[in-house]
Structure 1
């Protein structure tokens, strides 16, 4: 376009039409002048032919661009030994004003630095107290040490003593589901429908003509199925139920309904559910199932039943002990706690009974070097009022879980309810006095009629890991201020820059 414009102008600048004053200029100078005048004109004219220049593309901000690398990990930084330890006097000043009962009763408590064990607050820490469901922390430690975090319980179907019988043998899984196995769940991880389908497949070449009879072997547990230390009112209300080594939904009729009455014979209930699934699975294969479910007890030999029936037709396996411990702590499930205590005893060579469970819990604590002198254990769920454990002992247990030498116990950390978010703390820490602890306090709760407890851990404002246990006994039943007192105390620890 510049060349065309230059040509047009040069034609117009012929000698006959040029300005008189330009005639005397040398030819070379005249041409240079023409070029000087022509180029700007061409620049002005060109846009009319080619359009406006393209708009500049703004540079995309970095935050809008696709990432080229993983972002830095968010959350708490790793704990450092160099984080300052709070002053005991400052911690005491904070907690003394928070731990006040609403009405009658008293609070005891103890706070320790998790890494060093240094005591930062002690109000009657060594005194025995009724701990309520804080007992489940002791049971968690015993289960993880005796069986290991990855252990699973098996529920098996064995060939019966006659060709027309099968035996459903309980192996400690009380979280069975009635439907198919759900591998991504804890409750219902092993399902009776899957077990029934596998049983039908195993029997396809040996189907009895007169129908198959289901027997239930629940002989793994010994001793009374109901602890005499439990209040009958608690049993009637569904806080616990007679214990068996096999159950659906932790001995609940519906896994979504965690209150109210429970099955009083969870083994037979599970056997009936299995028989129904077996009937449904066997229909297409022509397998019939006889009505009714009976217990298998060959001559009263108890635990010898499984050895007397070595042929395994089918098997399903539970969620891991670690996952079950976490569920127990999050939901404070008394039935599951008692079963895990019995299974810890069995794994240690003891009887799968209430007495065996309490002995196993005490023994595992002593192995960790936690003093058990003066401790009295009537059960392992905390439902019994005869339990006696000190805040000092609970703080030491939490310390063993968080920073102790047995790293298997770290598996219990996910089970601690998180203030305002999960488990039995999900609806707490929303008030003005406690909201600063939401998301920061991680602790096991405990509540009975005149008892309230909270034991757990926090990382304080300076990055120091602290463990604590607060226990109230003899409290005024139903007084709302007692729960808030515990939550205020834990919140104060989380916000503490107590130097």
Structure 2
């Protein structure tokens, strides 16, 4: 049986959920989660009252507002009350242990921390190293936000080639290119190849170029093997991963509307061919022609006679003349996407871009080293952590639940506010991303709309790490990891039940 990661892409809303979505939307409440210092974080969202005691009034922070809040200071909402009580460890453990029962073989470890104080409220072998599946992406997201910053964008450029009439399409890390015109409001397709082609033709016209234009491809930004030997060939064939390049359309997908199935095995060349098609169309209107086919150029092929200063995004490339350029969505937006859809390809590219920004090679080893260094800098112990990739597709990864709660706590409540940019990307239980089709039955509906967590799924592995505000208004971070499970068994529900316990629990 094939090992598979969490699905990339938001599933259609399942039929059991359609009836409650209008009620969810009507009762949606934005909650600012913050440390006592008052740093606001991303909101939790209301779900329906499915508790055993439905007659008990919901606490104020889980009720629909009757009026808009007045702006305060910079417009942020006030922090959660510092007087909200944390759950008692004993009653909480009793409920969680009752929920965390496997269906068949295997075991589940877990940890729950109070976000404000770091107090460990639940510990079930929380320091034991386990296969984390796609929860590995939480480490990659935090490293990217710390090193690159949430506002960083990646550039895809066309530069003048060394031969007259030649242009070089140069990859700069944007694998979310669109084939059409740039879409400023989008993440996938924020930078469009048609827009890049049109700008290239205008630049060529201004330079007085005539005749036939030749397109070359420079995708030399990354180094090392494009495929990690730790990945299963079955997973690659199924489209969970593909050879990594520093430019691609639709996160190396043939169709932006299809986020499953096989991927192109040469995503950079596929993007270059799409660019050439757009350039051909734009050039025809300007009286130019474009030679068929694209040739890979050696690194530094762009070295036309006219100079516009060094291209600092490509170390060692020297002076080049940039003819046209498009920029990606921000790193923060891309991190949201990779967490929400659990996109392995995008996560691995983000790891390599993080490595390059830190002065390391843009390779698998460089990405791993960059991520581990950031965890150490965040004071997250890494002695027991083993990383074979930065997406979580490799079964050789070893991570503890406590390490995952530590990184989620850093995102929600740590001093580095750049990490707050990751919070909106956590899937919302029953509503978005890889949690969109979960939390729909009576045992888990108490967490619907409230739990925000990153999923992880391999053949015998499940994981769930995230954050939630409990019934007393206390922000909790959690991680549950199941390993050695019976393939195909109903174990996701156990993790969802546990997270729902946290959402509805005062537990005293």
Which residue among 314, 320, 323 is the counterpart of 1:313? 323
1:225-244 C-alpha deviation (Å, 9 max, x unpaired): 00000000000000010000
Q: Distance in 1 between matches of 2:279 and 2:172?
A: 19
1:68-107 C-alpha deviation (Å, 9 max, x unpaired): x973379997312211011001110110000000000000
Superposition pairs of residues 92-107 of structure 1, within 5 angstroms: 92-107=93-108
Please give the secondary structure, in 1, of the residue aligned with 2:228. Answer: coil
Is 1:387 the counterpart of 2:397 in the alignment?
Answer: yes
Please give the secondary structure, in 1, of the residue aligned with 2:293. Answer: strand
Q: Distance in 2 between matches of 1:205 and 1:408?
A: 41
Which residue among 488, 494, 498 is the counterpart of 2:497? 488
Counterpart of 1:325?
335
Q: Is contact 1:402–1:413 with CA below 8 Å preserved after alignment?
A: yes
Is 1:369 the counterpart of 2:379 in the alignment?
Answer: yes
Decide whether aligned partners of structure 1 residues 72 and 298 sit closer, same or farther in structure 2, where only a CA change above 3 A counts.
Answer: closer
* Cα displacement (A) at 1:300: 9.9
Counterpart of 1:18?
none
Please give the secondary structure, in 1, of the residue aligned with 2:422. Answer: helix
Decide whether aligned partners of structure 1 residues 496 and 73 sit closer, same or farther in structure 2, where only a CA change above 3 A counts.
Answer: farther
Counterpart of 2:26?
none
Counterpart of 1:71?
68
Please give the secondary structure, in 2, of the residue aligned with 1:471. Answer: strand
Decide whether aligned partners of structure 1 residues 310 and 421 sit closer, same or farther in structure 2, where only a CA change above 3 A counts.
Answer: same
Counterpart of 1:136?
137
Counterpart of 1:256?
257
Q: Is contact 2:136–2:390 with CA below 8 Å preserved after alignment?
A: yes
Q: Distance in 1 between matches of 2:208 and 2:216?
A: 17
Is 1:337 the counterpart of 2:347 in the alignment?
Answer: yes
| Aligned positions, number | 429
Q: Is contact 1:158–1:309 with CA below 8 Å preserved after alignment?
A: no
Please give the secondary structure, in 2, of the residue aligned with 1:330. Answer: helix
Q: What TM-score comes out, normalization by structure 2 length?
A: 0.82
1:32-80 C-alpha deviation (Å, 9 max, x unpaired): xxxxxxxxxxxxxxxxxxxxxxxxxxxxxxxxxxxxx973379997312
Is 1:462 the counterpart of 2:472 in the alignment?
Answer: yes
Counterpart of 2:122?
121
Q: Distance in 2 between matches of 1:311 and 1:212?
A: 16
Which residue among 429, 448, 452 is the counterpart of 1:419? 429
Q: Distance in 1 between matches of 2:358 and 2:239?
A: 30
Please give the secondary structure, in 2, of the residue aligned with 1:101. Answer: coil
Counterpart of 1:30?
none
Please give the secondary structure, in 2, of the residue aligned with 1:90. Answer: helix
Decide whether aligned partners of structure 1 residues 114 and 375 sit closer, same or farther in structure 2, where only a CA change above 3 A counts.
Answer: same
Please give the secondary structure, in 2, of the residue aligned with 1:193. Answer: helix
Greater Cα shift, 446-455 or 81-90: 81-90
Counterpart of 2:267?
266
Decide whether aligned partners of structure 1 residues 295 and 202 sit closer, same or farther in structure 2, where only a CA change above 3 A counts.
Answer: same
Q: Distance in 2 between matches of 1:300 and 1:285?
A: 25
Superposition pairs of residues 182-201 of structure 1, within 5 angstroms: 182-201=183-202
Decide whether aligned partners of structure 1 residues 374 and 204 sit closer, same or farther in structure 2, where only a CA change above 3 A counts.
Answer: same
After superposition, the CA RMSD in angstroms is 1.9
Please give the secondary structure, in 2, of the residue aligned with 1:175. Answer: strand
* Cα displacement (A) at 1:205: 3.8
Superposition pairs of residues 349-364 of structure 1, within 5 angstroms: 349-364=359-374
Q: Distance in 1 between matches of 2:197 and 2:204?
A: 11
1:107-151 C-alpha deviation (Å, 9 max, x unpaired): 000000011111111001000000000000000000000100000
Please give the secondary structure, in 2, of the residue aligned with 1:204. Answer: helix
Q: Specify which structure has the higher proportion of helix.
A: 1
Counterpart of 2:506?
497
For structure 2, the residue ranges without an aligned partner over 5 or more in a row are: 1-65, 303-312
Decide whether aligned partners of structure 1 residues 234 and 250 sit closer, same or farther in structure 2, where only a CA change above 3 A counts.
Answer: same
Q: Is contact 1:440–1:458 with CA below 8 Å preserved after alignment?
A: yes
Decide whether aligned partners of structure 1 residues 362 and 310 sit closer, same or farther in structure 2, where only a CA change above 3 A counts.
Answer: same
For structure 1, the residue ranges without an aligned partner over 5 or more in a row are: 1-68
Q: Distance in 2 between matches of 1:272 and 1:331?
A: 27
Greater Cα shift, 245-254 or 309-318: 309-318
Decide whether aligned partners of structure 1 residues 315 and 475 sit closer, same or farther in structure 2, where only a CA change above 3 A counts.
Answer: same
Greater Cα shift, 200-209 or 148-157: 200-209
Which residue among 384, 396, 416 is the counterpart of 1:406? 416
Q: Distance in 1 between matches of 2:333 and 2:314?
A: 29
Superposition pairs of residues 10-159 of structure 1, within 5 angstroms: 71-72=68-69, 78-159=79-160
Q: Distance in 2 between matches of 1:298 and 1:393?
A: 39
Please give the secondary structure, in 1, of the residue aligned with 2:374. Answer: helix
Counterpart of 1:37?
none
